[in-house]
Amino acid sequence: MQRLSSTPRPDWRSHVERELGFRFHTIDGAPYWDETACYHFSAAEIDAIEDATGELEQMTLALVDRVVSAGEQAYQRLRIAPEAWEAIERSWKAGERNLYGRFDLGYDGKGPPKLLEYNADTPTALFEAAVVQWDWLETLHPKDDQFNSIHERLIEAWKNFGLKRERVYFSGVKDHAEDQGTLDYLRDTAIQAGLQTETLAVEDIGWDGRDFRDLDERPIKAIFKLYPWEWLVTEPFGIHLLGGAARVIEPPWKMVLSNKAMLALLWEMAPGHPNLLETTLVPGKLEGKSVRKPIYSREGANIQVLEAGQVISETEGQYGAEGFVYQAHTPMPDFDGNYPVLGSWVVASQSAGLGIREDATAITRDSSRFVPHFFD
Encode pLDDT of 249-266 as tens digits: 999 999 999 999 999 999
Do 100 and 44 lie in one domain? The reply is yes
Predicted pLDDT of residue 109: 94
Closest CA to 343 of 353, 331, 334, 335: 353
Do the domain assignments include residue 267?
no
Do the domain assignments include residue 269?
no
Do the domain assignments include residue 268?
no
Structural domain total, the chain: 2
Do the domain assignments include residue 161?
yes
Q: Domain of 301?
A: 278-328
Do 166 and 35 lie in one domain? The reply is yes
Angle of helix 261-269 versus helix 43-70 axis, rounded to 10: 90
- The CA distances from residue 258 to 5, 189, 295, in Å, are 35, 23, 9
Burial class (CB in 10 A: 0-12, 13-18, 19+), 305: middle
* pTM score: 0.95
Helix (H), strand (E) counts: the chain: 11, 22
Do 250 and 288 lie in one domain? The reply is no
Per DSSP, helices labelled H in 196-318 are: 229-232, 238-242, 261-269
Q: Residue 316, preceding bond cis, omega within 30 degrees?
A: no
Do 310 and 342 lie in one domain? The reply is no
Do 320 and 343 lie in one domain? The reply is no
Do the domain assignments include residue 133?
yes
Angle of helix 43-70 versus helix 85-93 axis, rounded to 10: 120
Predicted pLDDT of residue 176: 85
Cα Rg of the chain (Å, integer): 20
Do 149 and 241 lie in one domain? The reply is yes
Do 55 and 179 lie in one domain? The reply is yes
Do 304 and 339 lie in one domain? The reply is no
Do 321 and 344 lie in one domain? The reply is no
Q: End of a domain among 292, 311, 328? A: 328
All residues at 6 or more sequence positions from 368 whose CB lies less than 8 Å from its CB, including other chains: 300, 341, 357, 358, 359
Do the domain assignments include residue 344?
yes
Q: Which of the residues in the chain have pLDDT under 70? A: 366
Do the domain assignments include residue 210?
yes
Q: End of a domain among 328, 347, 367? A: 328
Do the domain assignments include residue 273?
no
Do 136 and 250 lie in one domain? The reply is yes
Predicted pLDDT of residue 301: 86
Predicted pLDDT of residue 361: 83
Do 165 and 284 lie in one domain? The reply is no
Do 319 and 354 lie in one domain? The reply is no
Per DSSP, helices labelled H in the chain are: 12-15, 43-70, 72-77, 85-93, 126-127, 133-140, 150-159, 177-192, 229-232, 238-242, 261-269
Q: Concatenated DSSP letters for 94-130? A: TT----EEEEEEE--SSS--EEEEEE-SS---HHIII
Predicted pLDDT of residue 28: 84
